[in-house]
Structure 1
Amino acid sequence: MPELPEVEGLAAFLRERMVGRVVARVEVGAVNVLKTYDPPPAALQGLLVAGVERHGKWLDIDVDGLHLAVHLSRAGWLRWSDALPKAPLRPGGKNPVALRVRLAPEDDEDPERPPGFDLTEAGTQKRLAVHVVKDVQQVPGIATLGPDPLDGSFDLEAFRALLRDSRQQVKGLLREQSVLAGVGNAYSDEALHAARLSPYAQAGKLADADVERLYEALRTTLQDAVVAASGKPAKELKDAKRAGMRVHGRTGEACPVCGDVVREVSFADRSMQYCATCQTGGRPLADRRLSRLLK
């Protein structure tokens, strides 16, 4: 799933290519991705792109006061093309393209194949979400977001206040979008590894030194990932994310800090990775999936 750094990279990529240009047409390939109906996607046609922003994991394309808000979810992605196919997008079938945005061609561009982007989604769980709204706060997933961890006002005391009195495991709290915007499974793994903390630790019981270490690890991890994503084409952002991971997605590999094996705990639809030596005093965490099988 794209998280804060990748969506920030996508926003910068689109900002450079779309701001100041006119939307020629919006084509819908999968009606289920549309979570709003008024105004319709066609209302964006003929309007000027004024800006592209990020809200947590949400992409927000401001089209002359109307907002195309996109959440890529687990298997969605954005594919940019300098020359989109001539044929209009047809709904249904096995085409992975859920939505296509065509820009009005400029003088040096093929009028039949203008630039633009496709929103695609792989797999059977269709969670890609597209909203067309007059105010992004009309999107429930944006209106309920917690603070952005890279915002200048998000200091150590603000972070400490989020953890205080929480009975949640720290891993779950970091992923909760209403608590902290933009952090998901991958970067919570990375921040906890950098902070040398167990993902099962209770957030409200962390010592002051642990909270400070986690705050710095979270900010540094995200800032480094944003830098790594900066300037990269949309098609390279996924690979940049994978390349920067130290434990997430690296089950069975050696921890780059201590050399111990990276371990995994699996849940219903996801898994987390950690280093027992660095994070849990050498004790492997119980894998609930395996525990159930052994009963």
Structure 2
Amino acid sequence: MPELPEVEALALDLRGRLDGRAITRIHVATFSALKTYDPPLAAIEGALVDDVRRHGKYLDIEASGLHLVMHLARAGWIRWKDDVPALPPRPSNKSPLAVRIVLDEQDGATPGLDITEAGTKKSLALHLVRDPLDVPGLASLGPDPLTEDFTQERLAGILRDAGRKQLKGVLRHQGTIAGIGNAYSDEILHAARMSPYKPADSLTDEELTTLYAAVRTTLGEAVERSSGLAASELKAEKKSNLAVHGQTGQPCPVCGDTVREVSFADSSLQYCPTCQTGGKLLADRRMSKLLK
């Protein structure tokens, strides 16, 4: 799933490509992706792009006072096309193409953006609104962890309010902190040397300082590495710099212990026992059942 660093890089890349360009047409190939009807999509056709911004994990293309806001969900992505086909795409459950944004012609070609979503579970969401806060999920976002007002004191308040909830869940809940997902919550907790199951309100002052630094450093460095990369390069960049997430069975780059996994119904987490849990293996009920 694209998280804060990748969406930030996508916004930067698209800002350079789209600035001052006109959106001439929008073709919806997967009708379930479109979540709004007022204003209609036709309202943005012919509009000039003024800016591209990020709100948490949402991408916001602003054009002539309207906002095309998209959430790429777990398997969505954006692909730049130097020249899109003249014919609109046909609706198909087998094609990953969800939405095509066609831009004004330039140098004999018609560039555009293909918004795709892999897999059969379709969760990608596209909203055309007059104000980004008209998007329900965006309006309920927590603070952005890389802004100046996200202080250590603010994090302390978030953890205190979360009570006995596990750190992993608190970090990735978008209404609590915006932009952190499954991958970077694993990475932050590994950098902080904390168990994903550690209760949020149990941190000492020293641990709070460590966690705050891990949030800012892990995300900040990922944004810095991704900055300036084209959309086609971002996935590979992310994967090549993950210490534990998606690295089950591989040696921890810090201590050399084997990275372990806990599986859930629709996701999993990865961690290093030596770095994060004092050598203790966390219970994985799904794997335990398979081994019986």
SS in 2 for 1:164: helix
Specify which of 157, 162, 171 is matched with residue 161 of structure 1: 157
Once residues 165 and 32 of structure 2 are traced to their aligned partners in structure 1, the CA distance between those partners, rounded to angstroms, is 33
Unaligned runs of 5+ in 2: none
CA–CA separation in structure 2 for the residues paired with 1:73 and 1:60:
14
Please give the TM-score of this superposition, normalised by the length of structure 1.
Answer: 0.96
Amino acid at match of 2:142: G
Letter in 2 for 1:75: A
- Structure-1 separation of matches of 2:37 and 2:97: 19
Gap runs ≥5 in structure 1? none
Partner of 2:112: 116
Question: Deviation per CA, 1:236-279, whole angstroms, max 9, x where unpaired?
Answer: 11111101100100000000000000000000111110000000
For the structure 1 residues 93 and 188, does the alpha-carbon distance in structure 2 shift closer, same or farther, using more than 3 Å as the test?
Answer: closer
In the alignment, which residue of structure 2 is the partner of 1:43?
43
| Worse-superposed segment, 204-213 or 50-59 | 204-213
173, 178, 184: which is aligned to 2:175?
A: 178
Map of 1:272 onto structure 2:
269
Letter in 1 for 2:226: A
Q: After superposition, where does 1:15-164 map in structure 2 within 5 Å? A: 15-106=15-106, 109-110=107-108, 113-164=109-160
Q: SS state of the match for residue 37, structure 2?
A: coil
The question of 1:8 aligning with 2:5 is answered no
Report the CA distance between 1:172 and its aligned residue: 0.4
SS in 1 for 2:155: helix
Distance in 2, matches of 1:218 and 1:60, equals: 24
- What is the alpha-carbon root mean square deviation over aligned residues? 1.2
Counterpart AA for 2:145 = P
Instruction: State which of 170, 178, 188 in structure 2 corresponds to 1:191.
Output: 188
Amino acid of the structure 2 residue aligned with 1:208: D
Cα distance, 1:292 vs. partner? 4.5
Q: 2:242 aligns with which of 242, 245, 248?
A: 245
Q: TM-score, normalised by structure 2?
A: 0.97
Segments of 4+ moved more than 6 angstroms: none
State the distance in 2 between where 1:93 and 1:121 align: 11
Q: How many residues align?
A: 291
- Separation in 2, partners of 1:43, 1:249: 42
